[in-house]
Amino acid sequence: MKPILGSLLSFFLLYLVADFFVKHSSFGIFFETVENTLFGNTEEFLDPIDYAVFLEFWHTEIFFTMFIVFLLSTVFIRLFATRKIFLWLLNSFMISALLSLIFLPLSYFYHFDFLIYGFIFAFWSWHLIAILISILSLKRFYFA
Q: In this predicted model, what pLDDT tens digit does every residue of 7-49 receive, in sequence order?
A: 999 999 999 999 999 999 999 999 999 999 999 999 989 899 9
Which residues lie across from 41 on neighbouring strands?
Answer: 46
Mean predicted confidence (pLDDT) in 118-126? 97
**Paired strand residues for 46:** 41
CA dist., res. 106 & res. 113, Å (int): 10
Question: 135: Cβ–Cβ under 8 A, 6 or more apart, which residues?
Answer: 13
What's residue 84's pLDDT?
Answer: 87
Specify the pLDDT at position 57. Answer: 96
Q: Which one has a higher pLDDT value, 1 or 109?
A: 109
Report the distance separating Cα 39 and Cα 130, nearest Å.
29
Nearest to 72 by CA among 16, 142, 3, 1: 16
pLDDT at position 143, please? 86
Give start and end residues of each alpha helix (H) in 30-83: 31-39, 51-80
Would the pLDDT of 120 be above 80? Answer: yes
Q: Which burial class, exposed, middle or buried, applies to 126 when counting CB atoms under 10 A from its CB (0-12, 13-18, 19+)?
A: buried
DSSP class of residue 17? H
Per-residue pLDDT at 144: 73
CA–CA distance, 126 with 43 (Å, rounded to integer) = 33
For 61-116, the pLDDT digits (tens) are: 999 999 999 999 999 999 888 888 999 999 999 999 999 999 999 999 999 999 99
Q: pLDDT category, 118, cuts 50, 70, 90?
A: very high
Please give the pLDDT value at position 22: 95
